[in-house]
């Protein structure tokens, strides 16, 4: 049978269980079975992490700029993961059953999709930049004694970024496209918008200025057609590259490989910040990876400090940030989210709230004498209660991120 190529409809994931370590030797993994080996030999299956992605690899990326800032290259132990692209329900079920029998000790499942968590900007998306409202920046007080975060690397896993945008060209240190069947362009527009909120370098009212001046390391892992293989690779690269990782993406179903990759990143010292999801108006649903242990889950508020009606809630929600009608950079080419080539547009979603928190985390890291542990950054992200809030709630977490100026970290 031929490999389905671009016609595939599902991906079957084989997540290999690590064996216990013996002394200081690397952890071994379960040997692959004959059925999986045959699929590998035929080119129908592939290992997710190969070449640069071997266990204990040192990721070697070429930055767009000569300065590599303080991006890390850690020994990140990634799991053994294989994927098989399938066509149709019958073939998917056949592969799933065959590999489940073949690899009894492995976790075999159909990869759940991941997507960006932004809502269409609607009729205002083509408005001129002179009408941009930056209420979100004002709400979180980005101008209050800002610190220099230019030595802090922030990783963004998303739909890519428009590297030619005048407000982003000087903010990006590295860009890697893991979407095998797509160009490097941000054809969806979402990643460009997220990156602008974090660290755009323009000047209002005619340009977009982000919430910090950290250096962006962008990994395109969410294509027009979702591929778990591409996403896992982008996620692994981001966790190896930066201490602070922005995930303005997710889905309602748990993904065991995603959880294990993120857990390994957390173990290596990363801080993972993820959008809580946009299903709030249909009921409160957990969203992954925001619902995973150790991940900082971010919800959205409106300009009155109330939970946005779409923002997912729950006991896992950590904090909130502005997420309604947030202006930021849009691709200079047409994109699916922003139809017009405006360069700037408003958008709503927990996707837009998450980069505010990421930017404040970068500021906290910048204020620390020496590289701070991820837990120290997380515990010192400044938060204020939302109007009428007296304690942690499922709707608002501990409150809204709010910069209070440089300070001595309590856990330094």
* Catalytic residue annotation: 158, 190, 351
Q: Do the Cβ atoms of 350 and 277 come closer than 8 Å?
A: yes
C-alpha to C-alpha distances, 282 to 72, 230, 246, 311, 320, nearest whole angstrom: 40, 30, 25, 10, 19
What's the rounded Cα separation, in Å, for the pair 397 and 314? 8
What's the rounded Cα separation, in Å, for the pair 301 and 348? 10
What is the 8-class DSSP label of residue 154? E
What's the rounded Cα separation, in Å, for the pair 404 and 392? 20
What is the number of H-type helices and E-type strands within the chain?
Answer: 8, 17
Q: What is the DSSP string of 166-198?
A: TTTTTTEEEEEE--TTS-SS-SS-HHHHHHHHH
In sequence order, the β-bridge partners of residue 322 are 301
C-alpha to C-alpha distances, 142 to 69, 135, 136, 286, 404, nearest whole angstrom: 22, 11, 9, 30, 9
Instruction: Single out the residue of 159, 156, 154, 155 nearest to residue 116, CA to CA.
Output: 159
What's the rounded Cα separation, in Å, for the pair 28 and 36? 18
Is the dihedral angle over the CA atoms 176, 241, 62, 49 positive or is it negative? negative
Percent helix / strand / coil, the chain, rounded to 5: 25, 20, 55
What's the rounded Cα separation, in Å, for the pair 212 and 359? 5
């Amino acid at each position: 049978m031929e490999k389905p190529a671009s016609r595939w409809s599902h991906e079957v994931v084989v997540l290999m269980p690590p064996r216990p370590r013996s002394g200081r030797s690397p952890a071994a993994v379960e040997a692959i079975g004959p059925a999986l080996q045959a699929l590998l030999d035929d080119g129908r299956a592939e290992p997710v992490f190969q070449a640069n992605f071997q266990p204990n690899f040192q990721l070697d990326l070429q930055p767009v700029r000569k300065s590599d800032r303080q991006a890390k290259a850690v020994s990140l132990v990634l799991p053994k993961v294989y994927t098989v692209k399938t066509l149709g329900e019958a073939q998917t079920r056949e592969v799933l059953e065959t590999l489940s029998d073949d690899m009894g000790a492995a976790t075999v499942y159909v990869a759940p999709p991941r997507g960006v968590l932004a809502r269409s900007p609607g009729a205002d998306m083509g408005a001129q930049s002179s009408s941009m409202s930056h209420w979100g920046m004002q709400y979180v007080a980005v101008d209050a004694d800002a610190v220099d975060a230019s030595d802090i690397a922030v990783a963004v896993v998303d739909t890519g970024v428009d590297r030619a945008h005048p407000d982003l060209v000087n903010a990006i240190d590295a860009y890697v496209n893991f979407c095998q069947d797509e160009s490097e362009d941000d054809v969806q527009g979402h990643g460009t918008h997220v990156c602008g909120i974090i660290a755009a370098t323009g000047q209002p009212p005619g340009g977009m200025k982000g919430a910090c001046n950290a250096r962006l390391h962008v990994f395109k892992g969410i294509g027009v057609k979702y591929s778990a293989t591409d996403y896992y690779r982008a996620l692994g690269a981001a966790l190896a590259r930066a201490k602070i990782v922005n995930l303005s993406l997710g889905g309602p179903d748990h993904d065991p490989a995603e959880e294990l990759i993120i857990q390994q990143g957390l173990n290596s010292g990363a801080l993972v910040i993820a959008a809580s999801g946009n299903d709030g108006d249909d009921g409160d649903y957990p969203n992954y990876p925001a619902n995973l242990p150790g991940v900082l889950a971010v919800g959205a508020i409106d300009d009155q400090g109330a939970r946005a009606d779409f923002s997912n809630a729950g006991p896992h929600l950590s904090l909130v940030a502005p997420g309604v009608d947030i202006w930021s950079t849009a691709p200079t080419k047409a994109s699916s989210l922003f139809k017009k080539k405006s360069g700037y547009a408003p958008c709503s979603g927990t996707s837009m709230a998450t980069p505010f928190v990421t930017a404040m985390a970068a500021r906290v890291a910048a204020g620390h004498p020496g590289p701070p542990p991820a837990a120290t950054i997380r515990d010192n992200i400044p938060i204020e209660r939302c109007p009428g809030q007296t304690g942690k709630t499922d709707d608002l977490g501990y409150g809204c991120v709010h910069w209070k100026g440089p300070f001595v970290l309590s856990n330094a």
